[in-house]
Amino acid sequence: MKLKLVAVLLSAVVCFSIVGCSKTGSDTNSDAENAEVVSDDQVEDETGDNASAPVTYESTDERADTTLSNGTIEISLYDDTDEVLAKLGETDKEDEFGNLVYDDFSIQLFGEGDNKELSGIFTYSENVKTSKGISVGDSYDDVKAAYGTPSFESDDAGYITANYIISGFTLGFTIENDVVTSISFTAGMG
C-alpha cells in the first residue's frame, strides 16, 4: 500500500517538473488520438526546443471531471474544503504524508489553519468511481477507453502511473499487472 502511494506521489512530482515545459492553451492539442506518451527518460533527456511537452486536455465540466464518488459521498476538487470535511466526518487517521484517511477516500489539504484548501483526492477502494465510471480493479484498457491516451506515464518498480493533465489538475491512475490499484486527482498541475 505504501509503495502504491509513493508511486502516485512520484507521478505528481514528475508532473510538476513537466508542467513548466507544457504548451500554452493556444498550442494545446486536445485530440487524444495525437497524444504523445512520454517516459521519465524522455523528460530527463529532452530540453529546450526539442523537449516533448505532454498533451493537456481541456475539461468541459471541471467539477464533474474532478469528482470521485462512492455512491453516497461525492467529492470534487472544486468543493469547499469545509463542505468536504463535513461530508466525510471526523478522522484521526493520517498517512505518512499528512493526508487525512477515511474508509473510501484520502484527502490532501494545502495551506495553514483556516486557510486550507483541498489539493488532492485519492482512493484505493473499488467502491469509488470517477465521473467516467472507472474504479480500482478496472483494467488499463478500460482507463484508456474512457480517457484516451495519457498525457504521460511512468513505470516505476513494476507499477505504471498513467497521468492525464486536464485544465489545471492531474488525474492519475496507478496500474499493477494491468489493473488499476489507485486513483488520484491533484490540483494545480495542468
The label of the residue with cell 474544503 reads 81
Q: What is the pLDDT of residues 12-52, one digit of tens each?
A: 444 433 333 333 333 434 444 444 444 444 444 444 454 56
The rounded distance, in Å, linking the Cα atoms of 73 and 173 is 20
C-alpha cell at 147: 480517457
pLDDT of residue 51: 53
Show the domain range for 180: 2-187
| pTM confidence score | 0.72
Distance, in Å, from the CA atom of 47 to the CA atom of 52, rounded to the nearest integer, reads 8
**C-beta separation of 148 from 54 below 8 A:** no
Please determine, for residue 132, whether its predicted confidence score (pLDDT) is greater than 70: yes
Q: What is the largest CA-CA distance in the chain?
A: 49
Tally of domains in the chain: 1
By residue count, the chain amounts to 190
